[in-house]
Amino acid sequence: MIRILQFTLVSLVLISCSPRGEFLEMDEIPPEKAALASEVAVREVVFVGTTRREEDGVYGFGRDERASFLRYDISVPKERKTGEVTWPKNAKRADPTTDFLTLADQRFADGAEFRRELRSAMQLRKQRDVVVYVHGFNNTMAESVYRVAQMHYDLKVPGVAVHYAWPSRGSALGYVYDRDSALFARDGLEQLLHEVAEAGAQRVVLIGHSMGSSVLMETLRQAAIRGDKRLMRSIGGVILISPDLDVDLFRLQAHAIGTLPEPFLIFGSRRDTILGLSSRISGAPERLGNLTDISVVGDLKVTYLDTAAYNQGAGHFNVGTSPALIQLLGGIQNIDAAFRAEAAGRVGLLPGAVLTVQSATSIILAPVTVLAEGKRRPRHVVEEEQAQ
């Protein structure tokens, strides 16, 4: 046990030494470079609700009981590796052809102004779908906003992007602080979802990453317990990405919610090293995001997709960072097909081994090979046939 704790501490210290991302405004870089932005980058608009406390114009890790509402217009470079968020080292060296930059930001006076702007954005896009992203452990405000812009663009997700930025400490050594913040943040997310629904959203899809999955599930649980049928009816799907959630706790949350929103997708990885560390810290054998046996959630109507074959680095955010997996999900009509289709249809579009246990479906995703006739088949099947 001592060796495990030593390994965990050393790993977290090494992670915490890496440089952190911060906002860089377009007007801070040389004018000749800024002029290129409209040609070499795309504008992604991200609406934000946050319970981070604002101090001197900066939203840090302090907690605020009163939610704030904002909008960020982010410049996303077209020519970069899919799945990457590229940070400028400084204003002088920043380049819109390679770096994410902030084109504009706005703080709304209140929820009513936020709703009006969000309603206008839906009308402009001629869509009433909204995707609400909830970031995970160890994130700064800028990192989470830029990551949402990257995911929304790379995955070609339809609908307007809304982000809930809860008060993570933004430190690898702040795990306990973040777990407390995840509980603190429940009311803020619930308020944001009400604002989104009142803005006229017809369908709200929720995406939670890592510890953000805990914020999301706790919020749905308390809304269900309150009997908030209007909010629950507005939820048109849930995606948990590498959820850092105790399995027993998830089961209790799901039972309290009752009928889970459909579809309910969980992206995990058996080889997620971050969740491996979390399991050691918590003293539990597994987290929801690194399950090896789907039967522990077999009585719940969920679809569990194992992305271990697409591991990138620690394997903790494959859906957002793996170019191959992003391409695969884009191949099923921008992930939206997975929301609208029946379970059988979703499974048929995804390559891999499928296992059904009671109500739950498990899919171990496999890389694919595109054949000459245009059909897509799992790579391991093609390799086995070629070896015969």
Tokens linked to 335: 């992930």
Chain-wide mean pLDDT for the chain? 83
Assigned domain for 32 exists: yes
Average pLDDT over residues 331-345: 46
pLDDT above 50 (res 45):
yes
171/35: higher pLDDT: 171
Query: Which residue range(s) make up the domain with 213?
Result: 2-241
Assigned domain for 350 exists: no
Assigned domain for 376 exists: no
Per-residue model confidence (pLDDT) at position 385 = 41
Per-residue model confidence (pLDDT) at position 352 = 64
Per-residue model confidence (pLDDT) at position 273 = 84
pLDDT above 70 (res 120):
yes
Chain segment 302-313, per-residue pLDDT in tens: 989 888 888 877
Average pLDDT over residues 320-327: 76
- 351: confidence class by pLDDT, cuts 50, 70, 90: low
Assigned domain for 302 exists: no
Average pLDDT over residues 260-270: 90
Assigned domain for 235 exists: yes
pLDDT above 70 (res 145):
yes
Per-residue model confidence (pLDDT) at position 281 = 77
Average pLDDT over residues 72-86: 91
pLDDT above 50 (res 240):
yes
- In this structure, are residues 154 and 328 in contact, taking their beta carbons and an 8 Å threshold? no
C-alpha atoms less than 13 angstroms from C-alpha of 244 in its C-beta half-sphere = 29
Assigned domain for 272 exists: no
Per-residue model confidence (pLDDT) at position 223 = 97
CB count in 10 Å sphere of residue 362 = 23
pLDDT above 50 (res 8):
no
Least confident of 21-35, 46-60, 217-231: 21-35
19/104: higher pLDDT: 104
Per-residue model confidence (pLDDT) at position 1 = 37
Least confident of 34-38, 92-96, 211-215: 34-38
Average pLDDT over residues 260-286: 84
Average pLDDT over residues 97-108: 93
pLDDT above 90 (res 112):
yes
d(CA 143, CA 192): 20
d(CA 200, CA 366): 39
Assigned domain for 365 exists: no
Tally of domains within the chain? 1
Per-residue model confidence (pLDDT) at position 214 = 96
Assigned domain for 291 exists: no
In terms of average pLDDT, the best of 15-24, 318-327, 362-371 is 318-327
Per-residue model confidence (pLDDT) at position 328 = 67
Tokens linked to 347: 């499974």
Per-residue model confidence (pLDDT) at position 116 = 98
